[in-house]
Every structure is written in structure tokens, then in C-alpha cells.
Amino acid sequence: MNKILTIIQREYLSRVKKKSFIVMTILGPILLAALMIVPVFIARMADSVYEVAVVDDTRFFYREFKDANDVEFTDLDVDIDTAIELMKMDKFDAVVHIPTTAFQAPSTLRFFSEKAININAKLYIESILQNEFEKLKMARAGIDPEVLRATETKISIQAIRLLKDGHEQTDYPEVSMGLGIFSGILIYFFVFLFGAQVMRGVMEEKTSRIVEVIVSSVKPFQLMMGKISGIALVGLTQFSMWILLTFAIVATVQAVMPESFTFTPHEQIYVSSAQSMNPAELQEHVQRIEQHNTAAGQVMEALSAINFTVMILSFVFYFLGGYLLYAALFAAIGSAVDNEADTQQFMLPITIPMIFSIVMAQMVMNNPAGSVAFWLSIIPFTSPIIMMVRIPFGVPLFDLWLSAGLLILGFLGTTWLAGKIYRTGILMYGKKISYKELWKWIRYR
């Protein structure tokens, strides 16, 4: 046991002292925090106004173009050619032309611009014209537009999860989906990153013949386990630093710019207002408060509904389980070959389950409680990714314990298998290894 600890210490210290480890440990949380913070800064800085000139030959729509969404309109009482010339002189960013034939042939509407077209402005103008054209058509048909407008209802269903203790909790399936796929991809990234380090480390020691000196003092299995465990601790150290620094950066930005994270949940509005307002007043009150809600605030509110203690502990377990399972196989490959080019034929069977898990993640997110999600989340070769995709949606304890148990058994099985290959391959030089040869090594007593 002392020999394994010595190897673990050597592998751990030799990697955490590298400049690349220190740089990625600092850079990682900055990038993670930037995913949430940068959009806020971009939204604050994106205050440039898109100026649009309107040439309406019909004279019906001038008053309908209201400034909104950083788009300003200017009515021009000139022909379209003159308006385009003014645009070319940088008086406007774009020109909308509504010809006299627009009502009979909407395809004659034109949006002119020399620069890249602002898609938000285009969509906003299209929505205005669509509404006005519908009004004109209803007026010609003798239908009162106010009657139809009164029947229009914006539907936004709030998702509520009923907890086993009887409490209700606002659910954000979109955030759960994003967090699930992010966690799954991070597991995939970590397992292959640190698994490849194990394989390269074994190959370097083998090709340099250092391993011959090492195995004279320790057993091959002890060397393999020490190397795998040491690199696992490197991964845990980096992940822990990422989590702590990411939370610190996000909390600091929230404290400095609280107005950018404003959000009032619907349930708080209803509890405080439902008894004192009639339905119409309540709807108006909700819309007025929603105008002050920010996208960043909604994201942070949704993230607060996630049980991060369960997420982090689950991530640590499935990272360790998945890494230990695959790292043993990576170590076996590294011990069996003499150069990296020879690893390709053996890497394919190892990479297929992980890539398959990423491909199936979308199906699992669409139905996280389905049979496909269940089976993929308990099979050891796919469970590290698929279970992390499922956990943000809520997983029954039976599924979780069964998956964890099978993952541990899977790790023990691959370690035993890899140990059989490692003890023979680590001292084998100058021979091209085939699957048939590996099978012989596994069967050696």
C-alpha cells in the first residue's frame, strides 16, 4: 500500500506543478463564468440605434412604426430613389419601401440596406406590417378588429414540480436540459483528457525503459493503480478549483451589478397580488413587473432551483467512476504498444461507448424517465455521461443506486482485465500486438 501511495504522490505532484495545469485551473473557471456573464455585458453595451427610413406610397402605415428594440423610424415624404440616396450618404441604416401595390401583392415590399441587415429590425417591421395588413383585410370584410384582438391570448405555462414532501417547486426544463448536456460533455472531456494522460505516461515509461527499474521494486498492478489514482486526484483538484472560482466570480459580478440580474418569479407576484386584484389587473401587474426582469436574472433564478450539492457530488462520483473504468483500459493500451500510432486500432472499442453516449444525450433529454434513458444510465460504459444528463431532471433513488453499484462493479472488472494485459505488456518490446495476442495475455495464469 505504501508503494502505491508513493506512486500516487509522484504522479500527482509531477502534474500539478506544470504550468499548463496552473494556466487551465485559472482559465477554466473564467471561461465557465464568462458563459453566464459575457451575455450580460454584451446586452449592456449593445446600445447602438438602428435607424430605418420609411417610404410609404400608400400613406396607410406611417403612424404604425413605433420606435422599439433599439430601432428608430423616420417617415420620408420622398420617392424611393431619393431615400436610397440618403441612405448611401449614411443618413439611415436601411430603408423600408411600401409601394401602392403592397396590399394586393405583399411580395412587392422591400427592405434596402448597404450594410448587413439587422435581423431583429427586419422581424419587428414584418410583425408590424403583418398586423396592419390583417386589420385592413378584416375592415374590408366587415369584421371588427377589436373583437379579434380581445380573443388573442399569450400563453406561457409555468412548470411546477410536486415534491414528495408536498411542497411545490418551479421547474425550468430548459435549464435542466442545458445543465445536463453541459455536465455530460464535461464528463466526456475529463475522462478522455486524463485517460489519455494515463496512456501516454505508461507509454513514455515503457519506451524509455524506466519501467524496468520501477517494476523491480513494485508489482505491475501497483504501478498501474498508483498512476491511475494519482492522475484522478489531479482531475479532482482541477475540478474543485473550477467550481470554487466560478462561483466566486459569478457572485462578485452579481454583487457589483445587481440591476443586471433583476428577476421576480411569477409565484411571488401571485402570492402578493392575487387576493387584492381582479384577473385583468393581475395580468397587467405581471406584465409590468416582467418588463423589469432581465434574461440574466431569469437564468440565475432557474439555476437557483437546481440542487447543486447533489449535482456536484454526483459529478465527482461519475467522473471518478467513469475515469477509473476507462483509465484502466487506457493504461492497458499504453502497456501493450510501443508508439502512439499503434494505439488507434485499440482506441476504437473504447471510444465508441462514450461517443454513443453523447449522440444519445438528446434523446435522453427529450424523455429522461424513459426506458432508453434508464438502460443507458445503468450500463457502466455509458452511465457516467447519461446519468449526469438525467440528474438535473430528477432521478429515482433506485436508478441512482443501481447505476452507482454497476459502475463500481464495472470499474473492478475493467481494472482486473487491464491488470492482466498490463503485467505482460509493460515489459514487451518490438512486437506488433493484435487482439488475439491480448486474449492470450488475459488468459495467462
What residues contact residue 53 under an 8 Å CB cut-off, 6+ apart? 73, 74, 75, 76, 83, 86, 87, 91, 92, 94, 95, 96
Among 123-132, 146-155, 285-294, 378-387, where is mean pLDDT lowest? Answer: 285-294
Q: What is the per-residue pLDDT for 407?
A: 92
Domains of the chain by start residue, with CATH = 50-151 (3.40.190.10), 174-265+292-443 (no CATH)
Q: Mean pLDDT across the stretch 333-355?
A: 78
Per-residue pLDDT tens for 346-368? 788 888 888 899 888 888 888 88
Please state at what angle helix 220-256 crosses helix 308-336, rounded to 10 degrees.
150
- What is the H or E stretch that residue 175 is in? helix 173-207
Under the banding of pLDDT at 50, 70 and 90, the label for residue 278 is: low
3-class secondary structure, 398: helix
Q: What is the per-residue pLDDT for 224?
A: 77
Among residues 405, 408, 370, which one has the least CA distance to residue 389? 370
Q: What is the per-residue pLDDT for 429?
A: 67
Rg for the chain (alpha carbons), in Å?
31
Q: How big, in percent rounded to 5, are the helix, strand and coil portions of the chain? A: 70, 5, 25
What residues contact residue 200 under an 8 Å CB cut-off, 6+ apart? 334, 340
Please state at what angle helix 295-304 crosses helix 173-207, rounded to 10 degrees.
70
Q: Quote the pTM value.
A: 0.62
Q: What is the per-residue pLDDT for 265?
A: 56
Q: What is the per-residue pLDDT for 402?
A: 93
Q: Please determine, for residue 316, whether its predicted confidence score (pLDDT) is greater than 80.
A: yes
Among residues 389, 338, 344, 399, which one has the least CA distance to residue 367? 389
Q: Are 181 and 361 in contact (CB under 8 A)?
A: yes
Angstrom CA distances, 394 to 182, 334, 368, 390, stand at 16, 38, 9, 7
Among residues 312, 303, 307, which one has the least CA distance to residue 35? 303
